[in-house]
Each structure stands twice: as C-alpha cells, then as structure tokens.
C-alpha cells in the first residue's frame, strides 16, 4: 500500500524540516508549502491524506486556506498555531479543521495526533474513493453518483466522467480534443461536437445551482470548471 502523504504548511522552514524529519521517519510522504497560496495549489495537485496547517501565513492565512480547501476536499486538517485562545480554536473547527495543536509543540505529539486523525477519518479506506465536492455539488466517480443541492441527479456515465474530470481540475481550460482523449479515450473516433452535446446536457442539470462555480465555455478554446470568489 502506498504511503500516506502529509502536506506541511508553515512559513518557518525550521518547523517544516523538523516535522518532515519525524513524519518521514514514521513512513509518511511529506510535501511542504511556505505560504497560503502555494498550499491551496499544492493541495489541489497532490490531494494529500492530511494537512498540517499554520495559521499565521503570508499570501493567505490558515483560516483562508482552510476555507478554500473545504470547497473541494474533506481530507483532514490539523491547525498549527501560536494562538491558544478558545475563540481561535472554535473558529478553526467551524471552518472545518479536525484538530488543533498550539506552538511550541513536541513533534512526537504532532505525529500522535496525525495518526489519531487519520485513523478517525478512515483516510486509508477513503484513498480509493474518487469524489470531488463544491458548493451544493458532489461528484462521486466511485459509485457514479451526482448530487446537486443534496439531491441525486440521474446522469449517464460519460456525462459524469466529463464533469468529474473538469471539476477535478478547477479553472483549467481543456480543448475539445483533450477532453475526447482524456474522457472518451485516445481510441475514440467520434466528433468533437460530442463534447458540446454532453456539456449542454450537464448545464441543464447544473445551471443556476451555485454562484461559486460554473461550467464555462472558453470561446475558441474549449471548456473549464470555473470557481468564483
């Protein structure tokens, strides 16, 4: 079984290297981000099993990172911070954090909390579940289920695979030929208008559901699943 991956987010390189040392010694793969913007991007690209997230960060603070990540993932987040006030802890939990460690901390305690949170979340069992979540939208490719505003919507397999592929790469523009290759397969000999037809049907199911994302046409190029602030 592949090692579980931990994303460590802190602007203090000494803390990052200390945590990397202990985590790798315990068999985890470790990736490091030093600011909030980089953290969100790396989370989207790597889909780690857990994130250790400092609050006081440049670009985006830990609260903002937590809020952004919770738009598309429910993987565990443990907050790391020098702040120990009850208000900060409550805010962290309300934004979707799973645990909270106050600095200065013992690295061994952090490792113990990582193990406990992963065990509680059933991260190992969830690793093979293919699912993306956005506001009022859940696309599950494991059981081929689309839920819009909490309701299951009957969706043909290729439509589901198409929206899953787009939503798994938010704000990335795909040409019609790329989508044919990556969703239908390189051996598919159909017309690129096939993509247009499937997008039209998906729009009928998704249009107006949320103001935080949309299935968008990029004129003369192709399509993207755009997220809106």
Q: How far is it, in rounded angstroms, from Cα 8 to Cα 58? A: 15
Q: What's the pLDDT tens digit per position in 169-218?
A: 999 999 998 998 888 875 556 677 889 999 999 999 998 899 999 999 99
Give bridge partners of residue 9 from the DSSP assignment.
33, 53
DSSP character string of 112-148? HHHHHHHHHHTHHHHTT--EEEETTEEEETTTTEEEE
Three-class secondary structure of residue 21 per DSSP: helix
Q: What's the pLDDT tens digit per position in 47-86?
A: 899 999 998 899 999 989 999 998 888 889 999 887 666 5
Q: Quote the pLDDT of residue 87.
A: 59
DSSP assignment, residue 43? H
Question: Global pTM?
Answer: 0.53
Q: What's the pLDDT tens digit per position in 101-129?
A: 888 888 888 998 898 888 877 644 444 56
Q: What is the mean pLDDT of the chain?
A: 87
Q: Quote the pLDDT of residue 1.
A: 38
Q: Which domains does the chain have, with CATH numbers?
A: 5-126 (3.40.50.2300), 131-227 (1.10.10.10)
pLDDT at 131 over 90: no
Taking alpha carbons only, the member of 170, 163, 158 closest to residue 138 is 163
Parallel, antiparallel or unpaired: strands 145-148 and 137-140: antiparallel
Q: How far is it, in rounded angstroms, from Cα 229 to Cα 213? A: 9
What burial letters (b/e) apply to 79-91, b meaning 16+ CB within 10 Å? Answer: bbbebeeeebbeb
């Amino acid at each position: 079984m592949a090692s579980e991956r931990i994303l460590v987010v802190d602007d203090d390189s000494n803390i990052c290297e200390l945590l990397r040392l202990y985590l790798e010694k315990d068999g985890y793969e470790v990736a490091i981000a030093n600011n909030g913007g980089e953290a969100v991007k790396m989370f989207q690209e790597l889909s780690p099993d857990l994130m250790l997230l400092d609050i006081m960060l440049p670009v985006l603070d830990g609260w903002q990172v937590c809020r952004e990540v919770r738009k598309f993932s429910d993987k565990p987040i443990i907050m790391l911070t020098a702040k120990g006030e009850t208000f900060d802890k409550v805010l962290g939990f309300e934004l979707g954090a799973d645990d909270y460690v106050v600095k200065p901390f013992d690295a061994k305690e952090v490792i113990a909390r990582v193990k406990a949170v992963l065990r509680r979340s059933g991260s190992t069992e969830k690793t093979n579940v293919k699912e993306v979540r956005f506001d009022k939208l859940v696309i599950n490719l494991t059981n081929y289920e689309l839920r819009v505003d909490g309701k299951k919507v009957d969706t043909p397999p290729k439509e589901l695979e198409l929206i899953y592929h787009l939503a798994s790469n938010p704000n990335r523009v795909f040409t019609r030929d790329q989508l044919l290759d990556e969703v239908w397969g390189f051996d598919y000999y159909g017309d690129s208008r096939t993509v247009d037809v499937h997008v039209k049907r998906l729009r009928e199911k998704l249009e107006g559901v949320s103001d935080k994302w949309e299935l968008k046409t990029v004129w003369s190029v192709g399509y993207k699943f755009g997220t809106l602030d």
